[in-house]
Chains A and B, each alone.
Chain A
Amino acid sequence: MNIKELAKKLQNVKLTSGHRACSGCGFPQIVRAVLAATDDQIVASCATGCLEVTSTIYPFTAWNIPFIHNAFENSAATIAGVETAFKSLKKQGKIKKEIKFVAFGGDGGTYDIGLQSLSGALERGHKFVYVLYDNEAYMNTGIQRSSATPYGAATTTTPAGKVHPGKEQFRKDITKIVVAHNIPYIAQASVSNLMDLTMKAEKAFKADGPAFLNVLQPCTLGWRYPSDQTIKMAKMAVDCNFWPLYEVENGVYKLNYKPSNPIPIADYMKPQGRFNHLFKPENKWILNKIQKHTDEEWEKLLRLCGEN
């Protein structure tokens, strides 16, 4: 699909405007791009979180497709139930149409509280696409750390204090955890590259089994940058190799983008208020540690992708 085709597909509005997401939030674009990637009918589930809360304030809904929110930790189990119902009713001839299934969840609902539900649904092989919009903390409840929160970030539960300088652990590599389930299609994408995301969503919908998309979605409130900088933040995350764009198709890793001149990760962190404290001279060692870790992870990924 090229950008003109995408623009045309977006005319079929599956998530309407008028939702209450923050100015500068990235997930409406992510959701729309993903939903535009198939012409089949879609049923969506969604974990409790920003997306669900801002798009379904009763008596309104922003969803023009069938949608179910169950709880925080069970978006995958819920869509597994919907998909199985479809399978059963289709087998009985009660449904004729082809329907695709997509589950949305934030990082809290995926890396943390929903990990078991996701893992179970992936292992059972339900035919659905799981879309993780990763904004790197529990933003809906007020910016608490999750296991997706990057090292050094200040959150309301890991504030930059006199003794503890923000979060002191590196984030979990959820994409690799999903890879370990040996499902047909997994990809990491960013809201800064909608064509790449759409291409990946198309592949995900066509996969013969579960598929997983991990999409970086900067959060203006949680990351503390001006609301017109979301796409720029997401792009810088890719350009500093913190958020590589890659896919794993039937077990084969492929790098989708290799920055010719990666920017230092400090350049990406500098405009974000959550990292302010790291730019004090006494915290220089933390920046170095983060750069080193990013470089190591990038090297590992290059090897997996056969790039060096």
Chain B
Amino acid sequence: MAKIKALTGAEASAEAMRQINPDVCAAFPITPQTPVMQKFAEFVADGIVKSEFICVESEHSAMSACVGSSAAGARTMTATSSAGLALMWEILGIASGLRLPIVMTIVNRALSAPINIHCDHSDSMGARDQGWVQIYSENAQESYENTLLAVRLAEKVLLPVMVCQDGFITSHGVENVAVYDDNKVKSFVGELKPYKPLLNVDDPVTYGPLQLTDYYFETKRQQEPAMEEAKKAYQAIGKELKKITGNDYGYFEEYQLKDAKAAIVVLNSTAGTTKAVIDKLRQKGKKVGLLKIKLFRPFPYEEVGRALKNISSIAVLDRSESFGANAPVFGEIKNALYDAKSKAKLHSCIFGLGGRNIYEKDIEDLFSKLLTNKLKGKEYIGVR
């Protein structure tokens, strides 16, 4: 049975790692990822997990060691934030190109400059085209459950997976987290059956060969069906996980969306704030709703298009910029709505860069503008 524990988001991720019990973990400390690795280090120190923990000298080496370990045939996990993810960037593409099922917790934090330790999504959004599956989590509970799902998903389709949660807001905030029975989780996660591991010395394989104009394209081409497969597998594995948790693992969550006239699209913790506002406004008879993206890579265009098609006014909230272009989530929603032939009024709103707070009042104002068609162009919420 599930035990309710008071955990931060970071501890919830570490709790998932305890139950997954990976063979190897390689990580480097960076705020606000540190409590994930510290908690996990305690499990290692006390022999609660069998994992070998490599305390590397940089995130570049963290991901490099993860690549080595995963190719060797070991279940491998890590965690990072911000500059750490940026430093890994080169190796992220190698992990996905070599089809290594590494699972990484991302505790979202702003990128420099200016240096800032607080939450925004510029780190993981900057890595969105590196061939990793990306799952976003609203709270500690989702961070925990998504991590369990991620291991199965990664190993099923041979792609690495990032599970993201908001720095400090989620990672350092204590919540009640339902932690499911160790044995049930263990049997859900199962054993890794490595594909062509380096350590099978009787069948020597070469990882990372040189492919020029004659083969590179074909190899990269194969990552696309793998992502399509990931989309299907995410749902199938989610259904299995539901048997333990009772929760749904959709590509996104729809909250009061069916009859909504105005909707907000957002991911991670701000979805929680938005739900609270929706509850309030619904009591006043306002038809407002939310679409919270969970699976961002691969992106569920068709399904999002269908869900938002009949809503007349939509604001997409991004916690990162793509300077000189559409913000990351906004761009995807616009694509989805184009395919769905939607005539919705679609607005891009940037908020919360560098951890700037977003309040219920901000979201209430936004809904009110959406309902009265007062939103013009791109909005910046909470900026001076």
Name A residues whose Cβ lies closer than 8 Å to a Cβ of B. Answer: 41-43, 45, 52-53, 56-59, 61, 63-71, 73-74, 77-89, 91-92, 95, 97, 99, 116-117, 119-121, 123-124
Contacts and interface: CB of A to CB of B under 8 A. Distances in A.
Contacts of A77: 56, 60-61, 64-65, 68
B199 interface: yes
A303 B203 CA distance: 48
B271 interface: no
A59 B54 contact: no
B57 A120 contact: yes
A124 B206 contact: no
Given A84-B65, A85-B69, A119-B57, A70 B204 contact: no
Interface stretch (B209-217, B343-351, B352-360, B372-380): B209-217
Nearest to A91: B50
B67 interface: yes
Contacts of A80: 26, 54, 56, 61, 65, 68
A249 B58 CA distance: 29
A123 B57 contact: yes
A32 to B, nearest CB: 16
Interface string B38-64: 000000000000111011111011001
Contacts of A123: 57
A67 B72 contact: no
Contacts of A85: 23-24, 52, 68-70, 72-74, 76, 199
B211 A58 contact: yes
B52 A43 contact: no
B37 interface: no
A124 B69 CA distance: 16
Contacts of A65: 201, 204
B205 interface: yes
Contacts of A74: 60-61, 64, 91
Interface of B: 23-24, 26, 50-52, 54-58, 60-61, 64-74, 76, 90-91, 94, 198-201, 204-212, 214-215
21 contacts: A45-B68, A57-B212, A63-B204, A65-B201, A65-B204, A67-B205, A67-B207, A68-B206, A68-B208, A70-B208, A71-B90, A77-B56, A81-B26, A84-B26, A84-B54, A85-B52, A85-B72, A88-B24, A89-B23, A117-B58, A119-B57
A58 B215 CA distance: 7
Given A82-B198, A92-B50, A70 B91 contact: yes
Given A81-B72, A89-B199, A116 B57 contact: yes
B154 to A, nearest CB: 16
Contacts of A99: 199, 201
A66 B73 CA distance: 12
Contacts of B26: 80-81, 84
A68 B76 CA distance: 17
A82 to B, nearest CB: 4
A82 B201 contact: no
A56 B210 contact: yes
A76 to B, nearest CB: 8
Contacts of A70: 64, 67-68, 91, 94, 207-208
Residue among A61, A73, A74, A91 with most chain B CB within 10 A: A74
A52 B24 CA distance: 26
A95 B23 CA distance: 13
Nearest to A14: B204
Contacts of B58: 116-117, 120
Contacts of A117: 57-58, 60-61, 64
Nearest to A40: B201
Contacts of B74: 84-85, 88-89
A132 B50 CA distance: 34
Nearest to B26: A81
B223 to A, nearest CB: 16
Nearest to A41: B201
B73 A71 contact: no
A85 B77 CA distance: 12
Given A71-B94, A84-B52, A121-B61, 6 more contacts: A52-B210, A56-B209, A58-B209, A63-B204, A80-B54, A81-B70
